Amino acid sequence: MSKNHQLINTITQPKDTKKILGCLRDNGICLIENYYDQEKCDSIRRSCIERAEVDEDLNYPDGSYRRFDVYKNTGAAANKRVFHVDCFNYEAAILKNDEFLKNIAKAYYNNNNEYSVHVQVYERHQFYHIPVRGFHIDTFETSTFKAMMYLNDVNSNDGPNSYIIGTHKDTELRRKKEFDWGPSVGDDFDNTFKPHPTNFTRNELGPLINNWVKITANKGALILFDTWGVHCGISPAEDGDRHSITNYYRPGKNLPRSDFGFNPDKDYKKYFVKST
C-alpha cells in the first residue's frame, strides 16, 4: 500500500458506514475501492465522450450541456466538461440518486437536513499547455460534499485528484486566506490570469504540504471529500488521460438541476450557448 493510501485510509468494503465516516471526519477525504464495476464505468465514459469530444459548447434538449474551460482566464481549469450526465445515461442517474451516498453526506454533517445532488459533472483531463487549477477550496461560505468516481484507471501521469489531509478542519487557514492573504492565481500561473479568492500558494500552505496526497486508483474507485479541505487536480502528462464523474451534494431533498447554484433558469441563461 502506498503512503498516499495509508494516509487516506482506503476503504475496501464499500458499505462500511462507520469506517467511511471516521475516515472523512479525520482526513476530510475517503477512498472507496471498487464502488462501481467496470461495465458501468465504461457505459458512462462512452456516452460522455460522445458529447465532450465536439468542436463547440452545446446545450442539449435533455437538459445536459457541454463546456470547455468554463473558468476562462482564471487559471481554474482548461478541461472538457459535460454537465448533468444523469439526463442521458442510466448508470449515471443511478449514481446521482444513490441513497447510501446521500445518507453518508447527511451523517457526515450530523444535522437533520436531507442531502441530494444538484449537479453531476463529467470531466476529462488531458495534457494542455495551461495547467489545471492549483491548490484551492471551493468556497468560504460553507463546507460542501463531493463524490468523485474514476471512470478509468488513474495513475500519476493521468492528472489524479489530490488533497491536503486534515485541512477541512483548519478554520484559521480559511480565515487567513479570506481576510489576510487575499486572492491568488496560484503557483503555476503568470499575471495574465485573474486571481481567484480561494486559490492557495505553496508558501501560504507551508508545512501542510507534507500531508498532500495524490489519489491514484483503479476504474470504479469513489473519492468522497469535504471541499473545505485544500485540494486540486494534477496536470496530466502528455500521455495522461483522466475520466471522472462527480456528484455535488448540498442540503435539500430532490434539488433542481443547476450549474453550481440553485436556480436552473438563471443558470441556463448565464451559460447559454448554441443548442442542438
Q: Note the pLDDT tens digit of each residue in 108-118.
A: 999 889 999 99
Per-residue pLDDT reduced to its tens digit, 142-156: 999 999 999 999 999
DSSP state, 195?
P
Grid coordinates given for 63: 437538459
Grid coordinates given for 191: 499575471
Helix (H) or strand (E) holding 115, with range, is strand 115-126
**Nearest-angstrom CA–CA distance, 53 and 124:** 10
Residue 258 binned pLDDT confidence (cut-offs 50, 70, 90): confident
pLDDT tops 90 at residue 73: no
Q: Which residues does residue 148 pair with via DSSP β-bridges, in sequence order?
A: 223, 246
DSSP 73-122: TTTS---EEEE-GGGT-HHHHHHHT-HHHHHHHHHHHTSS--EEEEEEEE
Per-residue pLDDT reduced to its tens digit, 176-214: 999 999 999 888 887 778 888 999 999 999 999 999 999
CATH 2.60.120.620 describes domain 3-169+212-270: yes
Arithmetic mean of pLDDT, 43-64: 92
Residue 54 binned pLDDT confidence (cut-offs 50, 70, 90): confident
Q: What is the mean pLDDT of the chain?
A: 88
Cβ atoms 120, 248 nearer than 8 A: yes
Spatial CB neighbours of 112, under 8 Å, sequence gap ≥ 6: none
pLDDT for the residue 1:
42
Question: Is 164 in a helix, a strand, or coil?
Answer: strand
pTM above 0.95? Answer: no
| pLDDT greater at residue 69 or residue 198 | 198
pLDDT tops 60 at residue 78: no
pLDDT tops 50 at residue 273: no
pLDDT tops 80 at residue 38: yes
pLDDT tops 60 at residue 128: yes
pLDDT tops 80 at residue 84: yes
pLDDT for the residue 196:
87
Domain residue limits, the chain: 3-169+212-270
